[in-house]
DNA sequence: CTATCCACCTGGCGGC
DNA sequence: TGCCGCCAGGTGGATA
C-alpha cells in the first residue's frame, strides 16, 4: 500500500478540495472490500458537510459535521481521486465508492479490494478492531530515539520486522523499512535487541528523514498508487535500495541484495549494512 | 513472544 | 498467443 507518505500525500491533496463541501450523494458500487462497506453509509453521509480530513496511521479520516468519520484505508492498491469537475469523470473498473460534492467528485478505486471504507463516530474508535493495536505515529513527539531504543531492547526479532510492526510504530511499510535501514547502515536481519543506543538513534533519524522526504516528493508510485490529482509521486526515483536488486549501491557501488523476510522482499547493501555490531 | 503460513483479490510480467 | 507461476506500498488471524 500506500505507506504513510502516500497516505499523507492523499490527505494533503484532498483536504483543500473537499473540506467545507457538502456531500450531495454517495454511491457504493461494490461493498465487498476488506470489510463490507456498511449498507447505511451512503444514506448517512448524504447532505453532510465535510469538516476536516486527517490521517491516523494509514487510515484517512474524513470528519463530517454530525460527528461521524468516514474512514478509508487504501490497502495495497487503493486510490482516492478527486475530480474538480465532475464532468471529467467516467466510472472505471474497480471504482467502488463515488462521492458527489455538487460540481466535484471523489472516487475510491481499489483493484485488489484490500482497502476498507466505513463510518464511525469518535466514541466507536476505541472498539474498532483496526484501531485497537496501533503503535506510535512516527512523525509525532512520542516517537523518538529513546523510545525506539526502549522498543528495540525488548524485541528478539529482526529489526526490519520491528519497524514494520504497526502495533509498535505505524506507517512504515515494506519500502520505507528497507530504505530507512539502508540510511541507518543497519542490516535488516539484525536482531533488534542487539542494536546499540547509537544505532537506534541513527535508525530513528533515518525513519523520520525517509518518511519526511517521501512526503515532500508526493510519495512513491509503483503500480496502482497515484495522487488525488491522478499524477504520480516522485520518491521512487530516490530509492536507494528498494526494487534495486543487482543495481549499484549509491554509497559503495556494490550490488544491492534481495532477501525474503516474513514473506516480504527486503533490499539492502551487504557492504554498507553490516550484520555485525559496529559502534561507530 | 516469535516465526511462518494463510487469507483476502486482481493483474502484470517473464518463461516456456 | 496462451497458460502458469510468481510477484506486488497491507494486515489480521491461526498455528506451532
Which residue matches cell numbers 541513527? A202
User: What is the layout of strands, in order, in the sheet containing A59-64?
Assistant: A50-56, A59-64, A68-73, A116-121
Average pLDDT per consecutive 10 residues, chain A (280 residues; last block may be shorter):
93 97 98 97 98 98 98 97 95 97 95 97 96 97 97 96 98 98 97 96 98 96 83 94 96 96 96 70
Q: At A190, list the grid cell.
A: 539484525
Say which nucleotide is closest to residue A226, CA to C1' distance: C9
The residues of A annotated with a catalytic role in the active site are 2-3, 58, 264
Identify, with chain letter, the residue nearest to nucleotide B10 (CA–C1'). Answer: A112
Whole-number Å distance, CA A247 to C1' B1? 37
Say which nucleotide is closest to residue A58, CA to C1' distance: C10
Q: Measure Cα distances from A151 to A142, A165, A188, A279 in Å.
A: 12, 11, 16, 19
Q: At A102, list the grid cell.
A: 455538487
Number of H helices, E strands in chain A: 7, 10
Rounded to 5°, the CA angle A52-A57-A63 comes to: 20
pLDDT for the residue numbered A277: 58
pLDDT for the residue numbered A280: 34
Query: pTM for the complete prediction?
Result: 0.96
Neighbours of A156 (CB within 10 A): 10
Amino acid at each position: 500500500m500506500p505507506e504513510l507518505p502516500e497516505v499523507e500525500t492523499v490527505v494533503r491533496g484532498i483536504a483543500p478540495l473537499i473540506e467545507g463541501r457538502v456531500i450531495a450523494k454517495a454511491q457504493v458500487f461494490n461493498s465487498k472490500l476488506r470489510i463490507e462497506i456498511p449498507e447505511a453509509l451512503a444514506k448517512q453521509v448524504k447532505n453532510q458537510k465535510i469538516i476536516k480530513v486527517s490521517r491516523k496511521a494509514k487510515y484517512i479520516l474524513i470528519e463530517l459535521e454530525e460527528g461521524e468519520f468516514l474512514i478509508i484505508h487504501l490497502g495495497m492498491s487503493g486510490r482516492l481521486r478527486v475530480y474538480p469537475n465532475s464532468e471529467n469523470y467516467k466510472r472505471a473498473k474497480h471504482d467502488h465508492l463515488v462521492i458527489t460534492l455538487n460540481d466535484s467528485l471523489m472516487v475510491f478505486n481499489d483493484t485488489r479490494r484490500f482497502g476498507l471504507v466505513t463510518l464511525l463516530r469518535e466514541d466507536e474508535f476505541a472498539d474498532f478492531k483496526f484501531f485497537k493495536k496501533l503503535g506510535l505515529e512516527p512523525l509525532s513527539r512520542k516517537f523518538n530515539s529513546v523510545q525506539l531504543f526502549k522498543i528495540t531492547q525488548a524485541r528478539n526479532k529482526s529489526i526490519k520486522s520491528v519497524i514494520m510492526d504497526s502495533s509498535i510504530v505505524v506507517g512504515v511499510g515494506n519500502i520505507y523499512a528497507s530504505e530507512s535501514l539502508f540510511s541507518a547502515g543497519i542490516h535488516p536481519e539484525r536482531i533488534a535487541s542487539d542494536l546499540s543506543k547509537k544505532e537506534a538513534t541513527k535508525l530513528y533519524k533515518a525513519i523520520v528523514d525517509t518518511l519526511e522526504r517521501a512526503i515532500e516528493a508526493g510519495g512513491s508510485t509503483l503500480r496502482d498508487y497515484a495522487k488525488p490529482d491522478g499524477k504520480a509521486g516522485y520518491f521512487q526515483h530516490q530509492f536507494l535500495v528498494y526494487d534495486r536488486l543487482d543495481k549499484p549501491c549509491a554509497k559503495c557501488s556494490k550490488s544491492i541484495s534481495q532477501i525474503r523476510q516474513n514473506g516480504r522482499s527486503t533490499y539492502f547493501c551487504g557492504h554498507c549494512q553490516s550484520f555485525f555490531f559496529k559502534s561507530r
